[in-house]
Structure formats: structure tokens, C-alpha cells
Amino acid sequence: MTTVEDRELLKLPEAEPRNIEDRLRGLVRWEGGLVILFVASLFYGASTSPYFMSIQTFFFAGLNFGEIAIMALPMTFIIITGEIDLSVASMLGLSASILGYLFMHGWSIWAAMAICLVVGIVGGALNGFLITRLGLPSIAVTIGTLTLYRGIALIVLSTNTATGFPSWTTNLSLPIGGTHIAYDFAIFVVMAIIFGVVLHMTPFGRSLFAIGLQQETAFFSGVRVKRIKFLLYVLSGFICAFAGILYTFQQASSASDTGTGLELNVVAIALFGGVSIFGGRGTIFGVFLAVCIFGSLQASLTDANVSAQAQTIVTGVLLLISVLVPNARDGFSRVRSQVRRRRVRGAT
């Protein structure tokens, strides 16, 4: 059926100028900017402290940031579908509390961990149920479960602190044997690779983008929208529970307020990594770079004796940059067209 004419028709428009612009846009993608920023942050760190470039620094950066980074991965999936999960940090805290409670009450560490993961799955399923089956807005639902899960953590552990975990668990806060890599960070990297492959190379990942951009079309094309969203919340719950376990081991203790307020950090990392809050756009690579930048900036600012609270300014500024810079392009063209119009009007 394809004739010569058709083929020509196919080729014809390739000469259009728009394509050059397309290619340029590809080059100056957000991730490109992030790479530059990452390098810049390394230079900054090196300039503030001679010790910055040491392997120790990177180890601690990875250690401090591991759980947030891990939770940012399912968050990325969820935001790409146009939803949000603000209950992640509470789930982390709940998991940590249950782990501590069960362990203190004589459970074996393995059984306690298994229960935590199950609780994560159940908690995620509750989010997913309320959002996909009852059709409630995810931002409101997860603010609710944020409070609920933290509340349950309080009931479980009240004001106690659980300690005395087996030594092999607390050893997780040391570098991986023979290297200077933190376990948290290594786990994050492995997970990021898996998440990246799933998001960018599988039909499942493709359907996440379709859902985020045009949910109805996705459904009309055979994507099981509700089921996928439900699964994402279950996944998020599971991974946050897992992060809670890691966090407990790393701190060698757990309390009911473990990880309070981290949810906004997790969202911030995903957004700074170039994931659009409206859904449909984002890459795991971008999120990975965002983690690296936050990590290295945190390390260098700590080196420079900037208090943890004051460091939040950097988080905030980076977040604002992440939305302002991509918009600046449109802003410039708006201004340009206005100027041109004024000139035209002036000329006539």
C-alpha cells in the first residue's frame, strides 16, 4: 500500500526548522542542567573544605540520604501518574516503630521485618483503595493517612525508644566490606536501575506516562488505570516500610517520630529531578542526579558548619529553580512576542 508518493510525503517535512529546535531542546534538557549543577556542587564542596573530596564524605552523604532517596523512587512513579503520596514518611516511622516494638517484645528480627513489610503493603493498599476505588483526591487522602500512620506509630511505641538490635543490623551503618560505599546508597543505586528500566523501557512504565498525561485515553487504550495506581501505592507502602527498617538499623534505634517531615523532602527531590507535578513527565536519571546534588550540597554545607535548618534554604531555592528555569523559556518568548507586537503597532 505504501507508494513512492507516500514515502516522499513522509520525508518532506523533515526539513522544517522546528526539528532543529527539537534537537536543541533535547540537548539542554533538565538532566543536562542537573549534571552541570552536580559538578558545580562538587567544586563548591572542594573549595569550602579540603576534606570534602574524601571518600568519607561521600560515605556519610550516602548514609544520610539513603532512605529519602529510596522513597523518592516510588514517589517518582506516583507523581508521573499525576498523583502524590504524602504518607511516605509516616509509613517509614510506622514501620520503624513496629520493628522496634516487636523486637522489644521478643520477636525474632526476621519475623519483625516481615511484619513491617506486610504493614507497608496494607498501608499502601489503604491509600490505593481510598484513591482508586472511592475516587478521593490523593493529596487529601495521603495527608489523612500521614496523620493516621504516624498516630498508629505513636500508639505502638508511645514515647519509648527501641534499641539493642542485633549487631549485624547495626553494622549496616558501616561501609560495605572493603569499600567506602554506604549500604543505603548501594541499595538505592540498585533500586534506581531497576526503577529506571521499568519506567523507561517496559509497557508498564509507558502506561504510567500515558496515565499522567491523559488518563482517559490510557483507559480507552487498554491500560488498567485503577489497578496500576493501586499497585503503585502498594509498592510505595512496601518500599517505605523497607526504608523504615533500613533507617532503624542505621540509627540502631527506633522511635515513633522517626522520619517526621521527610515526606516533603522526598517530594522535593522528585520535583527537583525534573518530575512534573502535573504528571506525565520525568526520568529516574533526573531523580538520581537530584539525589546526588542534594547529597553533595548537604555534605559541603555541613562541612562549612551551616546548620541543618539553615540548609533547608538550599532545598527551597533548588525547588524554585526547578520550576522557574523550564518556565523561563516560555516567559522569554512571551516577553519577546509582546515587544515585537508593540514594535509592529508602533510602526503602523
Partner 1 sequence: MAKDTEDGVGTEPRGVSPEEQPLLRVDHVAKSFGPVKALIDGSVDLYRGESHALLGENGAGKSTLVKILAGVYQPDAGHVLLDGVPINLASPAAARDAGISIIYQEPTLFPDLSVAENIFMGRQPLRTGRRIDRGEMNSHSKDVFTRLGVPLNPSRLARGLSVADQQIVEIAKAISFNAQIIVMDEPTAALTEVEVSRLFDVMKNLREQGTAVMFISHRLGEVFEACQRVTVMRDGRFVNTSRIEDTDIDTIIRSMVGRDVSSMYAENTTVPGENVLEVEHLTREGVFTDVTFNVRAGEIVALAGLVGAGRTEVARGIFGIDKVDAGTVKVGGKKLAHGSPLAAMAAGIGFVPEDRRQQGLVMDMAIDRNMALASVGSLSHFGLIRKASERSLASEWAARLQLKFGRLSNNASTLSGGNQQKVVLGKWLARKPRLLIIDEPTRGIDIGTKAEVHRLLSELVAQGVAVLMISSELPEVLGMADRILVLHEGRLAAEFSRGEADEANIMRAATGQLKKSAA
Partner 2 sequence: MSIIDDEVATTLPSKPTGSPILSRVLRFRELAIVVAIALVFGATYLKNSQIASAANVQQLLSGPAIIILLAVGETLVIITRNVDLSVGSVLGLSAYLDGVLFEHNPHLAVPLALLAGLGVGLVCGMVNGVIVAYARVPSLVVTLGMLYIVRGVDAIVVNGHQIDPSSIPQSFVNFGSNNVLGIPILFIVAVVAVAIVGYAMRSFRAARDLYAIGSNPDAAVLAGIPVQRRIFSAFAISGALAGLGGALYLAQLATVSSVAGTGYELNVVAAVVVGGVAIFGGSGTVLGAALGALLLNTINGALDTANIAQFWHQAIAGAMLLAAIAFDRFVVLRTDRVLRVEGAQRDNG
User: In the complex, which residues of this chain contact partner 1 (CB under 8 A)?
Assistant: 1-2, 6-7, 9-10, 13-14, 16-19, 22, 197, 201-203, 206-207, 209-210, 213-214, 216-222, 224, 280, 341, 344, 348
- Which of 260, 281, 303, 304 binds partner 2 (CB under 8 A)? It is 260
Contacts of 244 (CB under 8 A, 6+ apart): 67, 91, 92, 93, 94, 95, 96, 99, 116, 120, 258, 259
DSSP letters for 210-237:
HHHH-HHHHHHTT--HHHHHHHHHHHHH
Residue 174: which of partner 2, partner 1, none does it interact with, CB under 5 to 8 A by kind?
A: none
Determine the residue type at 197.
Answer: V
The alpha carbon dihedral of 313, 70, 229, 275 has a sign of: positive
* Closest separation in Å from C-beta 156 to partner 1: 39
* Closest separation in Å from C-beta 344 to partner 2: 23
Q: Ramachandran region of residue 157, left (φ > 0), alpha (ψ -120 to 50) or beta? A: alpha
Is residue 210 within 8 Å of 217, Cβ to Cβ?
yes
State the angle between helix axes of 284-303 and 55-80 in degrees (0 to 180), rounded to the nearest 10: 140
Q: Which of residues 69-128 bind partner 2 (CB under 8 A)?
A: 86
Residue 155: which of partner 2, partner 1, none does it interact with, CB under 5 to 8 A by kind?
A: partner 2
Give the position of cell 542526579: 289
Three-state secondary structure call for residue 43:
helix
Nearer to partner 2, 51 or 278 (CB): 278
* Closest separation in Å from C-beta 307 to partner 2: 6
Q: Which grid cell is 60?
A: 556519610
Q: Which residues pair with 162 in a beta bridge?
A: 254
Residue 150: which of partner 2, partner 1, none does it interact with, CB under 5 to 8 A by kind?
A: partner 2
* Contact flag: residue 314 with partner 2 (CB under 8 A): yes
* Contact flag: residue 162 with partner 2 (CB under 8 A): no
- Which of 2, 305, 309, 348 binds partner 2 (CB under 8 A)? It is 309
Give the interface segment with partner 2, choosing from 168-176, 189-197, 241-249, 263-271 (CB under 8 A).
Answer: 263-271
CA distance 147 to 334: 43
Residue 258: which of partner 1, partner 2, none does it interact with, CB under 5 to 8 A by kind?
A: none
Q: Which residues pair with 255 in a beta bridge?
A: 161
Q: Which residues of 26-50 are buried (b: 16+ CB within 10 A; e: fewer)?
A: eeebbbebbeebbeebbeebeebbe
Residue 111: which of partner 2, partner 1, none does it interact with, CB under 5 to 8 A by kind?
A: none
Is residue 287 within 8 Å of 79, Cβ to Cβ?
no
Nearer to partner 1, 14 or 167 (CB): 14
Is residue 88 within 8 Å of 77, Cβ to Cβ?
no
- Which of 26, 135, 177, 346 binds partner 2 (CB under 8 A)? It is 135
Is residue 280 within 8 Å of 212, Cβ to Cβ?
yes
Nearer to partner 1, 50 or 216 (CB): 216
Residue 319: which of partner 2, partner 1, none does it interact with, CB under 5 to 8 A by kind?
A: partner 2
Nearer to partner 1, 17 or 177 (CB): 17
Chain contacts with partner 2 (rule: CB under 8 A): 86, 130, 134-137, 139-141, 143-152, 154-155, 158, 256, 260-261, 264, 267-268, 271, 277-278, 307, 309-320, 322-324, 327, 330-331
